[in-house]
Structure 1
Amino acid sequence: MIARRPVLSLLVLALVLLAATAWTNRAHLAAFPSIISAYTAKEYCSCRYVMGNAADYCQGYVKQYVPTSGFLDDAEHKRVTASGLGRTSTAVWVSPHQGCRLMPEADSLH
């Protein structure tokens, strides 16, 4: 079969290798959607409440190629919630010395 259909054989081999790579990295691939919202929430919180920058500047600072679907900056409580790729993450300002920290997943769901 390989001699008669080399292109199809290479395509099947490439798909098998891709599937094997995805399987061995499944934990990393599963964590990826959370990275988008967590990065946005944590970095915006640090930019805004630790460094004291303007909101417009911090929006540009955390902008990514993968867009976020939701964003909430609660200035009164110094709490930032960002959503992206189906995940929601919340970062909250703790203190001047500790900065911002991500809230555990159960606490960040509203």
Structure 2
Amino acid sequence: MSERRTFIRRRPFSSLLLLVLVVIGLLGWQNRVALQAFPSIISAYTAKEYCSCRYVMDNPAEYCAGYVKQWVPSALSDDAAARRVTASGMGRTSSAAWKGQRQGCQLEP
């Protein structure tokens, strides 16, 4: 009498890996809106914080570049004459500009 073994008993590590991938996929689908917004957060944070550091707190450019440095690479463009900062990261670009002493820096649409 031949005994039929199930896939789980024959390949326990493959089964566990498959289960983990399914759970990650379900979590990703459940949080898809937040995951789509994440790339924009990186560039917006960098632009807003650099602008605030540079033009509201009046710190040197080198200090502010170090202040906003993240693990995720981003590029900064600082227009000192217009007091406007543009940051790019993860395929998205955001800009922030100094609006005045009382308003500080604001993200631009």
Normalised by the length of structure 1, the TM-score is 0.90
User: 1:74 aligned to 2:79?
Assistant: yes
Q: Secondary structure at the match of 1:63?
A: coil
Q: Secondary structure at the match of 1:97?
A: coil
Alpha-carbon RMSD across the aligned residues, in angstroms, is 0.8
Within 5 Å, give how 1:1-110 maps onto structure 2: 1-68=7-74, 70-104=75-109
Q: Secondary structure at the match of 2:8?
A: coil
User: In structure 1, what residue type is equivalent to 2:85?
Assistant: V
What is the rounded CA distance, in whole Å, between the counterparts of 1:21 and 1:76 in structure 2? 46
Larger Cα-atom Rg: 2
Cα distance, 1:20 vs structure 2: 0.2
Q: Secondary structure at the match of 1:81?
A: strand
User: In structure 2, what residue type is equivalent to 1:93?
Assistant: W
| 1:29-72 Cα deviation digits (max 9, x unpaired) | 1111111111110000000000011111101110001111x321
| 1:66-94 Cα deviation digits (max 9, x unpaired) | 111x3210111110000011000000011
What does residue 4 of structure 2 align with? Answer: none
Q: Count matched residues.
A: 103
Q: 5+ residue gaps in structure 1? A: 105-110
Query: Which 4+ runs in 1 deviate beyond 4 A?
Result: none
What does residue 107 of structure 1 align with? Answer: none
Identity %: 64
Normalised by the length of structure 2, the TM-score is 0.91
